[in-house]
Each structure stands twice: as C-alpha cells, then as structure tokens.
C-alpha cells in the first residue's frame, strides 16, 4: 500500500509531459513596424473585396464568414489610413455612381485612382501545445494567420505584394483535466491585425523600391 501511495505521489508531483510543434517564419513575413514607412508622396488607392485561398476555405469554413472578409477590409483601410501613404477611394459600385453624380452636379474634378488593392489569406493554422506537470494541464492554442496585400498599378498593370504573419495565443489551465480550448474568432482578429500591419509595410516598401 505504501509503495502504491509513493508511486501515485511521484506521478502526481514529479512527472511532466509536453507536446509542441516547431514553427518557421519567412524573412518576407516577419513582423514590421508602421513607423518604418517614410511618406514622400500620396496617391489614390481603391480597396477591392478580400480573396480567399479556396483550399483554406474548404478546410476552415469559418474563413468564408462574411464578417471575416469585412473585418479584413476594415483592417486594411485602418492601417493604410494610419500610415497616410494613400488616399482611399470608394470601391462600392453603387456608392461610386452616387458620388459621381454629386461631383458632376458640383462641377468637381474626378481624380483617377492610381492603385487598386486587395487582401488574400494565404496561410491559416491553429496549433495546440500542451504541458502537464504536477497534475496541472496547461494548454496553449495558437492561431497563425498569413496575409498578403496585393497592390496593382493601374497605369501599367504591374503589381507588387507584401506579406505578413500574425500570431495570437489563448492559454488555459486545468487540474487533472484538459481545459476547453476551442478556437475563437478573437484569436483570428488579433493575429490578422499583426499580419496586416507587416503586409502593408512590406507592400509600400516594394512600391517605393520601384519608384512608382
């Protein structure tokens, strides 16, 4: 009986286990700061609808949710507005027609849009890392999002891309029991925010390198 009790205490207090996956981040998607951009000119830019990787959408149907697409477009607009490199031009067809009619009525000048942009999710993963020690279970659910921003030069049809990877972690702890660690929408939002900032910085740098 004493041996059994001693063995139980050893398992309860001393044993530990862990499961994790090594992650790689490419140089082209490592996190960048918005402060890296120096504004030397301002051009007009129109944002199109988000484009999803079909294979990713089939594997993760939640990515096809309209709220996800709307959120990504809003994030792109927010980051671009904050940096100040572009003037945003209305992309909705019905709104465009309404504005054009108002501009004509006021005899205002309609400026050309030099650039068109849209967002693509090229990578999405949810990784689970688990550690067990002294009867306590700590589980980390990490959401990884890869975002690419593509900007097309409407004057020559050439385009550049900028990519970024964002990560967001949810940590749970349980005692002799795994905590409920279901994937949640807020993790996608947080990870995509980080990825978007890096992608926009990279795509603006690509434009400036070409002297457009």
Per the DSSP assignment, residues forming a β-bridge with 118 are 150
pLDDT of 201 higher than 90:
yes
Domains along the chain?
Answer: 33-210 (3.40.50)
- Residue 5's pLDDT band (boundaries 50, 70, 90)? very low
Task: Find the mean pLDDT for residues 200-211.
Answer: 95
Closest CA to 77 of 43, 52, 32, 47: 47
**According to the model, what pLDDT value does residue 156 have?**
95
Tell me which residue of 102, 96, 107 sits closest to 48, measured CA to CA: 96
pTM of the model: 0.74
Mean pLDDT across 85-100: 80
CA–CA distance from 80 to each of 41, 110, 171, 194 (Å)?
14, 21, 32, 14
Question: Tell me, what's the pLDDT at 21?
Answer: 53
**For residue range 43-75, what is the model confidence (pLDDT) as tens digits?**
999 999 887 777 777 777 767 666 677 788 899
Token readout for 173 is 């702890």
Q: What is the pLDDT of residues 137-188, one digit of tens each?
A: 677 788 889 999 999 999 999 999 999 999 987 766 555 445 455 656 677 7
pLDDT over threshold 60, residue 193: yes
Q: According to the model, what pLDDT value does residue 103 have? A: 73
Share of the chain above pLDDT 70, in %: 73
């Amino acid at each position: 009986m004493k041996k059994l009790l001693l063995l139980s205490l050893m398992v309860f207090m001393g044993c530990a286990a862990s499961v994790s996956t090594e992650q790689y981040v490419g140089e082209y998607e490592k996190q960048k700061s918005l402060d890296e951009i120096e504004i030397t000119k301002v051009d007009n830019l129109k944002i199109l609808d988000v484009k999803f990787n079909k294979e990713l959408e089939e594997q993760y149907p939640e990515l096809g949710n309209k709220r996800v697409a709307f959120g990504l477009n809003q994030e792109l607009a927010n980051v671009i507005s904050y940096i100040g490199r572009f003037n945003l031009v209305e992309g909705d067809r019905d709104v465009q027609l309404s504005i054009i009619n108002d501009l004509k009525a006021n005899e205002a000048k309609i400026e050309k849009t030099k650039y068109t942009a849209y967002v693509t999710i090229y990578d999405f993963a949810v990784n689970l890392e688990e550690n067990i020690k002294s009867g306590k279970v700590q589980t980390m659910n990490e959401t990884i999002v890869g975002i690419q921003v593509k900007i097309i030069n409407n004057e020559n049809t050439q385009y550049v891309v900028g990519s970024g990877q964002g990560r967001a972690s949810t940590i749970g702890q349980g005692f002799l029991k795994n905590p409920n660690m279901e994937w949640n929408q807020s993790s996608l939002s947080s990870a995509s925010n980080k990825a978007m900032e890096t992608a926009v910085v990279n795509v603006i740098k690509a434009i400036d390198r070409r002297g457009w």
